[in-house]
Structures are given as C-alpha cells and as structure tokens.
Structure 1
C-alpha cells in the first residue's frame, strides 16, 4: 500500500483546527486573569484545609470508596435501552451508560485537583478549548501531566481497583489507556469578576428557562468545553471533582437513538459516571449558573491480547484538542497501539502453534480474518494523522443520525 504523505495538508482554523498545534498552541494558553483570580483561589481553598497533605500517597483502601453493592444499586442503561441500535463503529459490549456512583474520597478529589492546578502544569499542560459552545476564559482542558508530574493521580488511575470497577460495569476486561488520554480534566470555573457574574441568570425562573432552552435543541446549542462528539476511546470514566449542589446544569448529556437529549443526573463530588463513548454521542455541558464544573475524564479500552482496541484519533489529536502536546501525544499513541499490536501478534502466533500441537490443524479462513483485522488496526494507527487525513472538524458523523449508519 502506498500512502501519499505529501504535500502536507494545510491545517487551518477554517477547518476547526489549531494552526500552531506543533508548538502546543501558544494562542490557547490560560489567561493571566484566570490564573491569578479563579485558579489561585481554588488552590488556596484546597490547601487551607488543616489536614491537607501536598505529599499524600495514594492508598486504594482509603481513597476509593466504591462498594460492590453499587453494581446492583447503580442505574445503568444498555445501548438498546437508549434506543441505539445502529452505531458508526461496532459496539464492544451492550453497556451504554451508568448513572453516578460513589468512587473517590474527598481527600482524593482534592489531591487530583491540587496536582493539576499547579502553575507549571497550567503553563505546560492546560489550554483553552478549540471547539466549544459558549466557551470563555474560564473554560479549559488539562491533560498529559499525570505520568511525570502527578504521582497521586497517576497511581490512582492506574490502580487495578479502578480497572476492575470499569470492567465489571462494562462487561469485559478493560484497562486505562495511554498517558495523554488519562487524567484529563475538563474545567469550567465560576467567575469572580462582578461584571461577568451579572450576565448569569439569577432568578429560579430564569435559570430553569435557560436549562429548558438547552434541552429543547439537538445538543449543538448546549454550552460545553467540547461540543457534541464521540469519544476516541472505548469507555469514558468521568469523575466529578467540583460541582456544587446548588449548581444547575453541568451534567454529561447524551443523545439517544431517537435523537433526544438526555442528561445524566448531576454527580456529587467524588461520584463517577461511565459511558461507551466510542458509540454514544454526547457532550459535557456547562452549568447555566455561576458555579465550578470540573470533571476528571479517563479513557479505557479492552484489555488482553485476544482482541484489538477500537481507539481512534478523531477528537483527541493535537490539531483538534489543543491541550494535547504534539510530540508527547504521538509518542504515547504509538507506544500504546504498537504494544497492543505486538501482544496480539504474539497471541495469534502462539495459538496457531498450540492448535497444531493439539491436533486441531490450521484454520486458514480464521487466520485470514485475523490478518484483515490487524491490517485495519495498523491502518488506524496513522490514517487520522494530520499529514495523511486532515478533514474539517467536527467530523460530519458527529451530526449523523444513528439511524443513518
């Protein structure tokens, strides 16, 4: 197969892309006003707790508060129950979404926030959104910092306890994916600027009207830090780090198979939700009131050498999501995809040898099918990269109705 890599397609803001993505989008840095006013205030609030320890070590027995009884008590939906019968890529399991369930302690939440909001992390790993509805200086992404700069966060999300919870809900073994797609924070902060505060609805009637106006549409008009999309990872585990009880809005919003807008109930601090984001269209809405909404998003994909993952680049590559650092992101991507491919190739080779030893013979048709899957997987390692395939964003299939697939 010959791949025409040149001429390199033009990356243009007209395509919804960040033109300076190789230089880590300097035009999308977090404004000084936001750093000095809202972020600084939030860090001071965390550190003012007398029991706060900036050197806290992760302890699953203390910091994961999930109880096995939650598997039964948590409301979940299959894709069929969400009326999603057709999908743009094959479903992995029938799991669709889970309503909020307790996952992290308050101490753990504060530590994840503290590590992510350090000045050097905001400078080197945080950026304003490229494509978002109603975004302001107060809305931004943080990601890619966990491996080298957030030891508590890194240990937490890599813990076998978290993977087991995700796997049990989803119905098949799952593991957290590469560094650039774990420990991702979607941040929408409450303003402390008096002029900006005055622009928010104040009465109960105004607030509910604003919320109803959002829900009446098809999802495109709902303010968010990332507009209506499919995830590039199989499953998203979303943990709420900050969303005051008095806030209105701010839930994960999903589009059902009949193209209706459904909001997952507001999660409390430390509560998590899950969705099969690769096949379920959704967005993370902003509150209609002046309150923080900070979520901790972690991608998961199938574990084990028996099958290949279905992760993609569509909504995460650096020219689309500014907080993805070009060199770091693609290093992480190649390491993850090739490691999984290597393990899968070894598994197939060993199975062929085992079948021979066991007298089962060689299944030529089955082997060819596996090779075709591998060919498609390998192609997916590169065919969404900017120098190969650089179409306008958002992708047209984000607006395609389920029934049209």
Structure 2
C-alpha cells in the first residue's frame, strides 16, 4: 500500500497555510453561532412564512416561477473577456464571454421558497458554515451548500431546470450543464445585525457611506469586505441569483477585477435577478453591503456540456479544507461521481469516433489520438492532485495575486 506522506510534501492540512484543519469533521470551529440562528436567521424565516399565500410544500413550476423574458438576450448588457481587457487567463477560456449584467430570472415566490428551504435549522446544522479567509467577516457571514440533492426538493428542481441551463447556454455561447451537487444551489449569506452595538460599526451618514465605497473601489479588491474574498472560481460559469438585498442597501454587488486590475461592481440586482460570469478565468469577489442590510445570493455552477468535451472544473477554492461548508464525504462523493461520469462519456465518445472514422474510410489519425489521450491523462490527474492528502500548499494560491498580464 502506498503511503502518501513519504511521497508528497503536504500530506497534512496546516492552519498556517490558511486551511481549515478540522475539515474532515465538518469544521466545528466554523459552526453558525446560536445568536445568529435565533435572531437574524429566524427573522428571515419569519418574513417568509408571514408572506401572504406562502406554501412550504410548493413544487417548482417553471411556467410560474421562471420570469425570464427572451428579450433579455438582446437587452442585457454583457461583456466579453476582450472588452474587459483580459487577454491572458490562468487556464484556457471556454468562450470569450466574460460577464452579464442582471436580468430577471426567478419570481419572488420561488426566491422565498429557496430561502425557506436553506434556512431550516437542520439545514444550517448539516450544510452551513462560517467562511474561511473572507475579508472582515463576522458571525453574520456564512455559506450553505450541498443541501439540494437530499433536503431541498424545490431548490433541487430549480437547479436541474433545463430552462435555466438553456438560458445560461445561450448567454455563454455554447451548451452548458449544471455541475455536481456541492457546487450548485450554494448560498453566500451576509445578514444585517439586529444587535444595536454591532450596528454602530456601519457608516451612519450618506457622506460616510460614499467615502467608504470610494476607498474600497480605489484598491485592488483585497480590502473590500466580502463573504468570499478575491478569487477565481473552480467552476466554469457562476450563475448568481439575488435572494435578498433591500433597495436601500448600498454595496453588496458581485465585484470583478478587469484586465487593468481595477475593480468594477456589477450593478445592484433586484430580487430574483441573475448575473453571470466566467468565474474560472475572471477574478471576482462577493462584496458585503456597506450599510447594515442583508445580502444573500444563490449561486449555481455550470460547465460545458457534451461528451466531446472535458470540463475544466477544479478543487482549488471549493475543497473542504478551503471552504468549510463543503462536507468532506458528501463533497468528494459529488466530485468523483461528476468527474467520472464526464470521463466515462468522453472515453466512449473517443472510442466510437475512432471506429466511426475507420468505417467512413478516414483512417486513423495517430497524432490526434495521442493528443486526446494526453488530455484525458491530465484530466484524470486533476481529479485527485488537489486533494488534501496529496497536495496542500497555502491558500490562496499564487496565481490569485498575479496580474492578468503577468500570467504565463
């Protein structure tokens, strides 16, 4: 039996590397405080359950709960990576799509149902944790993820909606599909404090708010308070749907870093509106409101669909030692199931294509086949080489800090 510790330099997780040492035990040090659960989380649930007509047993109905208008394909402002001056990427881009401004997607009824499922006490126990390495995070900032498959039927139906996959595919310019459970239907939560003393830490006047925003935007993104700091996603595309952000809130947008290393805030979306970014190659963060208001987003990961392609998802920012909300056994079950299903489909495609070309009289292209095998070999290695028992360098990785133009 191979003993990994004799072969690899980082067989053990170290907190000094910015990692969560108790990741296998679901990071008990990052559990949601009881004060937050009894006060702010309960307040969200009370608001939802008191909404006229709310039905906690409701089923997802795309004809009623999807409010997307096909006209949005033409009216939504989008940016290519080129338009964002991003000419170099740390991994190959899938298309030139960069980001989309908010467009209407989910009804208020659907938003309330997704929030209701996520904020249940047993969900918070099993799937929610405080962030790791966020900027200025408090007891009120946390993540929820992995709950849709078994404990949130309405949310699961939304995530697997072919209508939403079609919308993402059309914007992105190539067929896309939702990825594994632990990286769909996850929520980034920043709640307004109900504690009078804590609320004094927020700017109180309009001039103080403007001053704080200007100071944040003048930097490189590292100092912007966030529930998820400046990073690249480990999924190809992030579909970010706003669940809660009051109109009077200031800040709280998805903030991206352009090719000239300047921060740009995507305009504040309305409830139920979605934005999209090619997060695998575009640095960004989930900023917190400058004011004392809720900011909750519902994030779904997508990757290129089709057996002829291999996805470019990674473990970097989503594995349990980095992101405490990822439950070790569940996360890796989801990861292996997804990656191996993609690999199985691709192997079948390559095999059948070789036979098809031969039978069509095209012969055998040895160089092309070797290239495919090398891609498959690299893909298989990436299925495991970022796992904690193999490789645990400090987080964030160096390329998170490298300017786009200085990338290899």
- TM-score normalised by structure 2 residue count: 0.98
SS in 1 for 2:226: coil
SS in 2 for 1:300: strand
Among candidates 18, 21, 24, match of residue 20 of structure 2: 18
CA shift for structure 1 position 199: 1.6
CA shift for structure 1 position 3: 8.3
Partner of 2:339: 337
1:180-219 paired onto structure 2 within 5 Å? 180-219=182-221
8 Å CA contact 1:134–1:224 kept in 2: the answer is yes
Partner of 1:41: 43
Quick one: distance in 2 between partners of 1:12 and 1:6? 14
Task: Tell whether 2:294 aligns with 1:292.
Answer: yes
Partner of 1:161: 163
Quick one: distance in 2 between partners of 1:362 and 1:151? 48
8 Å CA contact 1:182–1:299 kept in 2: the answer is yes
CA shift for structure 1 position 68: 0.6
SS in 1 for 2:303: strand
SS in 2 for 1:385: coil
SS in 1 for 2:232: coil
Partner of 2:100: 98
CA shift for structure 1 position 176: 0.3
Among candidates 258, 265, 268, match of residue 266 of structure 1: 268
Among candidates 306, 309, 324, match of residue 307 of structure 1: 309
8 Å CA contact 1:210–1:288 kept in 2: the answer is yes
Q: Deviations over 1:311-358 (max 9, x none)?
A: 000000000000000000000000000000000000000011111111
Quick one: distance in 2 between partners of 1:156 and 1:253? 25
Q: Deviations over 1:213-245 (max 9, x none)?
A: 110100000000111000000000000000001
| Stretch of structure 1 that moved more, 197-206 or 102-111 | 197-206
Quick one: distance in 1 between partners of 2:50 and 2:333? 38
Quick one: distance in 2 between partners of 1:226 and 1:332? 22
SS in 2 for 1:6: helix
4+ residue runs of structure 1 moved beyond 4 angstroms?
none
Partner of 1:5: 4
Partner of 2:255: 253
SS in 2 for 1:227: strand
Quick one: distance in 1 between partners of 2:255 and 2:76? 18
CA shift for structure 1 position 6: 1.9
Among candidates 60, 84, 87, match of residue 85 of structure 1: 87
Quick one: distance in 2 between partners of 1:246 and 1:266? 11
Quick one: distance in 2 between partners of 1:4 and 1:21? 21
Quick one: distance in 1 between partners of 2:276 and 2:388? 30
Partner of 2:130: 128
SS in 1 for 2:276: strand
SS in 1 for 2:316: coil
Task: Tell whether 2:246 aligns with 1:244.
Answer: yes
8 Å CA contact 1:133–1:227 kept in 2: the answer is yes
Among candidates 283, 286, 290, match of residue 285 of structure 2: 283
Runs of at least 5 residues in structure 2 that lack an aligned partner in the other structure: none
Q: Deviations over 1:279-318 (max 9, x none)?
A: 0000000000000000000100011101100000000000
SS in 1 for 2:37: helix
8 Å CA contact 1:9–1:390 kept in 2: the answer is yes
Partner of 1:385: 387
Number of matched pairs: 404
SS in 2 for 1:349: helix
Quick one: distance in 2 between partners of 1:151 and 1:33? 28
SS in 2 for 1:86: coil
Q: Deviations over 1:14-69 (max 9, x none)?
A: 11100000000001000000000000011011000120000000000000100110
8 Å CA contact 1:29–1:128 kept in 2: the answer is yes
Quick one: distance in 2 between partners of 1:340 and 1:348? 12
Runs of at least 5 residues in structure 1 that lack an aligned partner in the other structure: none
CA shift for structure 1 position 5: 2.1
Quick one: distance in 1 between partners of 2:340 and 2:134? 32
Partner of 1:371: 373
CA shift for structure 1 position 202: 1.0
